[in-house]
Amino acid sequence: MNRPLSRCVSVLYAISATCAAIGVLLLVRGQISAPPRVYGSFLAADGYTPSAWRVWSPAVPEEHLGLYLIAAGLVLVVAAGLFSIRRG
């Protein structure tokens, strides 16, 4: 008979999904950020540059942070799976 997942396993799955989702968003944001467009004399982004708002320290680019978060999410999924097998 299948037992429902324990609370610990559910929390690990939720944290791993959150890490992976934020990692994918950062990875996509880092790859598709384009310079602002200029329409005549009006700057479309109103002076915004992709580096104006940093998510992390300047030493770690957003693409790398995204990959780290995706990797952390995968590690947590494996850990949750192993934990559920051991407890089951």
* Chain segment 42-56, per-residue pLDDT in tens: 555 555 555 555 666
- Report yes or no on 6 lying in a domain: no
* Domain housing 53: 14-87
Work out how many domains the chain is built from and give that number. 1
End-to-end CA distance of the chain: 10
Of the candidates 85, 61, 60, 82, the one whose C-alpha atom is nearest the C-alpha of residue 16 is: 82
Is it the case that residue 39 has pLDDT exceeding 80?
Answer: no
Task: Name the range with the highest mean pLDDT among 31-35, 53-57, 73-77.
Answer: 73-77
d(CA 8, CA 62) in angstroms, rounded, equals: 30
- Report yes or no on 82 lying in a domain: yes
The pLDDT of residue 75: 96
Output the CA–CA distances (angstroms, integers) from residue 62 to 27, 37, 78, in the order listed: 7, 22, 24
Tokens 């959150």 sit on residue: 18
- Report yes or no on 7 lying in a domain: no
